[in-house]
Structure 1
Amino acid sequence: MKKEITNLIKPVDYFIIGAGIMGLTIARELKKRYPHKAVCVAEKEAEVAMHASGRNSGVLHAGFYYTSDSLKARFTREGNKAMSRYCEENGLKINKCGKIIVANDEGELAGLEELKRRGDRNGVELIWLSAEEARKMDSNVRTHIKALYSPNTSSVDPMQVCRRMQVENEQNGVEFLFHTIYLRHDNNRIFTNRGVYECEFVINAAGLYADKIAHDYGFGKKYTIIPFKGIFLKYNKNKSDVVTNIYPVPNLENPFLGVHFTKTVDNSIKIGPTAIPVFWRENYSGFHRFNAREFIQIIYYQAKLFRKNAFNFRRLAFEEMKKYKKKHLIDLSFKMINQLDPKGFDGSLKPGIRAQLLNKETLELVQDFVLEGDHQSIHILNAVSPAFTCSIPFAEHVVNEIAKKQEANSRNRSTYQVKGYRYLTRSGR
């Protein structure tokens, strides 16, 4: 009987949970470094990028929003170049339309100044424009006195990118396991609804469920995921009323950039996203995929945030809930432009849900990437926006960390230190 069970266990070197952009780029990087290693990607859905990766705005950010000591600053700057190069080399769509950040009033000019300082520190090109220069670039732009222009902000088709990476990975020998749900683990054995896998190393890139899997391994205990829904409205009257991405000055104390205009790869215009708190992790619409346990847990933390008003959560929640009203969302966008036909917005695009990490001890939203792990597993607890832009250099960083942990474990298996003396283990004799 034991022999039969052993025969059913499938061996693999690297087992990746999640086929979003993180899982795809990590698989790609592992195969580049270790072409003879067996890599498989387990995904609970029917195809790649069914959640945040395939539902995001598609904007390749330049990297000026973030403090210079953050991983986001580095990976966004490098990722913008890397993803642009990937699209060009693979014949994928890219719209190098740039971005203008506008100020509504005198008070927001200080925010523009801070963005310029961050851009300079991060080595990201930002150009000052007068209000007149901004209007020459896009006649519909409205700003107070001046604006900032980011020439390196672009738009791509995220699903096209993810599907191309799937094909590339499959050509390089990566195995994809769709409709495959992680259930539990026992040391280096992974139990799924479609079989048991014995692996050398596990990479948790499960997005909305990354914290739950990490907790099962004993990591990320002080964190939980709080989901926020992003809704976009498409402008269908024409593609010419706005010619570049137009963004407001953001509140840099939270990770949301505010309602803005996005130019897509085909030059279409859309506004959004919202950052509406929702009540379970895949709460896209109605009671679709309702989960009672998640509902209770998320309501509990939202109530704590509301009661203590952490990061002004009360105001954020009220302001975001108003955005369910189409007219209110459109009115917010009109602060950045001179004229647009409000009747041109005739429906919502597919919503996305941001997996935002919350520190349960401090009740703070974590604004940078968070990795935890050991010699057997690594967990991407916070692949926070702009994770899509950051994905290629971030994958290199993750694989570097895996290599360090595996090398350290290899050394520890052969030697260990006791009171300053070195001893050989049995495996090292």
Structure 2
Amino acid sequence: MKIDRIETIKKVDYLVIGAGIIGLTIARELRRRLPRKTICVIEKEAKVAMHSSGRNSGVLHAGFYYPVDSLKAKFTRDGNRAMTQYCDANGLKINKCGKFIVATSEEDLAGLEELKRRGDRNGVELVWLSADEAAKVDSNVKTFRKALFSPSTSTVDPIQVCQEMQAENERNGVDFHFETVYLRHKGNRMVTNRGVFESNYVINASGLYADKIAQKYGFGKKYTIIPFKGIYLKYEKNNSEIGTNIYPVPNINNPFLGVHFTKTVDESIKIGPTAIPVFWRENYSGFQRFNAWEFFQIVYYQSKLLIHNSFNFRSMALEEIRKYKKMNLINLSLKLISRLDAKGFGDFLKPGIRAQLLNKQSLELVQDFVIEGDHRSMHVLNAVSPAFTCSIPFAEFVVDEIVRECRA
């Protein structure tokens, strides 16, 4: 059946694909700036935040990991403040417990110094503490000589935040259509499994499938999504042995922050995440949501990464796969603290999948945000961690670009 013969069920000015945190904040920002326009959000799942947005650590990062000239640095700093204010204003749970970045050896001290320089240049507060001073803040913190403390790092409940964003959008007249899957489009008409939408402008914030949809609009041709699975373990013995988030010094040449302790909004303790390469985009468990086409495409690019050993993919992949064994994951976390019962951990928590963008030409993981678009559509191609923290100012940036494209 031709697309032009299918009945249009909805006409809107702006249509957002995806009801994760990025789609929700973009819809919110569109409504704030364009109160007379019609806006709707379509989502293939039954409710908001079913993938990365609802499966992340819930940490509101401060903004010192990233080069000062990057979008991530600016948006993380501003996003931390904006999301903290949003949670406070709406009575949402937030644990303002701070975060330590600790050294495990002499070699880590140079990494701490670089993080401090980045934080200073980006206007983010980081405090040097000696090992003894750190132990006075959190008695279980273990560090070599000194540590950095980030007082503005907090944890939130990401699902609660997304649900509040949905409720706010609905109060302000944004329509939501769940279990609605993008299939194809022609011009300004989009076919879904629930009929046709006609819109003046499309914003693609579909996370794990953002590259696929973008390419159907003629964008993102040099990119593909390579999924990585993140798994956490909950410490079930008690909630009292750790009072802050505790992180190692990361390898600043890749986008993963290493196994760390998270102190959640309900005061519980968890360790993780992993960054395990997986073989299809929603490869959460077993053969759940298996997709043969995705499998062959992803294995193809993983094979290229192995052959060329881009960003040390071979050793990284092997190291991450070893974390499927609980004790290996636990042992990494124990380097960051003075004491903890290794037998006090429970089972793995609900996994998440990181929608990591890969440049197909250079075989490099793209570390900063990437958007592409024109006067008819805008595509959020790379919105990985800390996208949740960045979401409010990032949405302002995206809408700025949309307005600029529409005026050009």
Equivalent pairs: percent with the same residue? Answer: 73
The alpha-carbon deviation at position 260 of structure 1 amounts to 0.1
User: Are residues 1:156 and 2:159 paired?
Assistant: no
Which residue of the partner structure matches residue 352 of structure 2?
352
Structure 1 residues 355 and 6: CA distance shift in structure 2, 3 A: closer
Which residue of the partner structure matches residue 275 of structure 1?
275
| CA deviations over 1:7-44 (Å, ceiling 9, x no partner) | 53421100100000000000101111111111010000
SS of 1:323's equivalent in the other structure is helix
> How many angstroms apart in 1 are the aligned matches of 2:241 and 2:5?
63
> How many angstroms apart in 2 are the aligned matches of 1:9 and 1:48?
22
User: Are residues 1:379 and 2:403 paired?
Assistant: no
The alpha-carbon deviation at position 192 of structure 1 amounts to 0.6
Q: 1:11-30 alignment to 2 at 5 Å?
A: 11-30=11-30
Which residue of the partner structure matches residue 418 of structure 1?
none
SS of 2:330's equivalent in the other structure is helix
Which residue of the partner structure matches residue 186 of structure 2?
186
1:175 partner letter:
D
SS of 1:16's equivalent in the other structure is strand
> How many angstroms apart in 1 are the aligned matches of 2:105 and 2:6?
68
1:357 partner letter:
L
Which residue of the partner structure matches residue 397 of structure 1?
397
2:195 partner letter:
G
1:246 partner letter:
I
- Listed as ranges, the gaps of 5+ residues in structure 1 are 409-429
Which residue of the partner structure matches residue 167 of structure 2?
167
Which residue of the partner structure matches residue 132 of structure 1?
132
> How many angstroms apart in 2 are the aligned matches of 1:121 and 1:349?
36
- Listed as ranges, the gaps of 5+ residues in structure 2 are none
SS of 2:290's equivalent in the other structure is coil
> How many angstroms apart in 1 are the aligned matches of 2:7 and 2:76?
44
Which residue of the partner structure matches residue 367 of structure 1?
367
Q: Give TM-score scaled by structure 1 length.
A: 0.94
1:118 partner letter:
R
Which residue of the partner structure matches residue 32 of structure 2?
32
Which residue of the partner structure matches residue 297 of structure 1?
297
SS of 2:202's equivalent in the other structure is strand
1:145 partner letter:
R
The alpha-carbon deviation at position 156 of structure 1 amounts to 0.2
Alpha carbons 2:237, 2:345 under 8 Å: kept? yes
> How many angstroms apart in 2 are the aligned matches of 1:108 and 1:7?
61
1:173 partner letter:
G
The alpha-carbon deviation at position 222 of structure 1 amounts to 0.3
Q: 1:4-83 alignment to 2 at 5 Å?
A: 5=5, 8-83=8-83
User: Are residues 1:256 and 2:239 paired?
Assistant: no
SS of 1:355's equivalent in the other structure is strand
Which residue of the partner structure matches residue 321 of structure 2?
321
Larger-gyration structure (1/2)? 1
Which residue of the partner structure matches residue 93 of structure 2?
93
> How many angstroms apart in 2 are the aligned matches of 1:135 and 1:277?
36
The alpha-carbon deviation at position 81 of structure 1 amounts to 0.3
Which residue of the partner structure matches residue 110 of structure 2?
110
The alpha-carbon deviation at position 5 of structure 1 amounts to 4.6
Alpha carbons 2:8, 2:198 under 8 Å: kept? no
1:47 partner letter:
K
> How many angstroms apart in 2 are the aligned matches of 1:189 and 1:7?
10
> How many angstroms apart in 2 are the aligned matches of 1:191 and 1:103?
53
> How many angstroms apart in 2 are the aligned matches of 1:289 and 1:362?
30
Q: How many residues are paired up? A: 407
| CA deviations over 1:35-74 (Å, ceiling 9, x no partner) | 1111010000000000000000000000000001100000
Alpha carbons 2:6, 2:196 under 8 Å: kept? no
SS of 2:324's equivalent in the other structure is coil
| CA deviations over 1:140-179 (Å, ceiling 9, x no partner) | 1111000000000000000000001101101111110101
> How many angstroms apart in 2 are the aligned matches of 1:158 and 1:356?
20
> How many angstroms apart in 2 are the aligned matches of 1:402 and 1:270?
39
SS of 1:396's equivalent in the other structure is helix
1:201 partner letter:
Y
SS of 2:335's equivalent in the other structure is helix
Alpha carbons 2:134, 2:147 under 8 Å: kept? yes
SS of 1:64's equivalent in the other structure is coil
Q: 1:211-222 alignment to 2 at 5 Å?
A: 211-222=211-222
Q: Give TM-score scaled by structure 2 length.
A: 0.98
> How many angstroms apart in 2 are the aligned matches of 1:6 and 1:315?
51
> How many angstroms apart in 1 are the aligned matches of 2:67 and 2:384?
15
> How many angstroms apart in 2 are the aligned matches of 1:185 and 1:74?
35
